[in-house]
Amino acid sequence: MTVQTRHFPAGAIGNSGEPSEPSAAPGAPQLTSDFKAAFGGHPAGVAVITADSPTGPVGITASSVASVSAEPPLLAFSLAAQSGSAAALAAAQTVVVHLLTTADLELAQIFADSRSERFTGSMDWTRLPGGEPLLSHNGFALRCKILSRTPAGGSLLLAAEVVEIITPEAAGGPLVYHSRSFHVLGGHSLLSR
């Protein structure tokens, strides 16, 4: 096994606990490429995030959802685009985070492609009392109130408080995104308890 170590310029990785501004270091293209490779090889759960907007329901597929706190229940996610559905989600006061299972692969693919038709008569969905679109799927759905929006590089990081959890009758195995493809986790992938 070959181990390759890269040394990053001072300030590229904060170590003082002080906030620092991102810098365009001389090795930035290589750093960007390595960063994409690192996270491309790091699996992430898949969710569809939906919201109501003045023009109707919107939604996107996301692999950036992270649990932040259990008490109170908080989560965070990021939006890379500032147009279309992502812009409408960024402006929403409430959203629904649908944690997808392997049975929800088609939903993940539909909401990942901006050219796909969403919220059509053939898609099984309803509205919650607050107007948020709720997709019929096999995982948990978390209705959230947006607490903050923080610009971070070319993305927007949103923190949200979970105000309601809609539980499935029987949750399936989680849908996972890894190396630019969707994957399944199951008993066959268990290494240790």
Average pLDDT on 11-37 reads: 62
Q: Spell out the domain ranges in the chain.
A: 45-172
> Which is more confidently placed, 15 or 49?
49
The answer to whether residue 189 scores a pLDDT higher than 90 is no
Between CA 78 and CA 82, with CA 79 as vertex, the angle to 5 degrees is 150
Give Cα separations from 156 to 66, 74, 89, 177, 192 (angstroms).
14, 17, 11, 21, 36
Return the CATH number of the domain spanning residue range 45-172: 2.30.110.10
The answer to whether residue 9 scores a pLDDT higher than 70 is no
pLDDT at 122: 86
Average pLDDT on 66-91 reads: 90
Least confident among 5-9, 56-60, 129-133, 174-178: 5-9
Q: What does DSSP assign to residue 44?
A: E
pLDDT at 13: 39
Please tell me the pTM assigned to this model: 0.82
Q: Count Cβ neighbours within 10 Å for each residue of 4-20 and write b for 16 or more, e otherwise.
A: eeeeeeeeeeeeeeeee
Least confident among 36-40, 87-91, 96-100, 186-190: 186-190
Tens digit of pLDDT for each residue in 133-145? 999 998 999 999 9
Tens digit of pLDDT for each residue in 147-180? 999 998 889 999 999 999 999 988 788 998 877 8
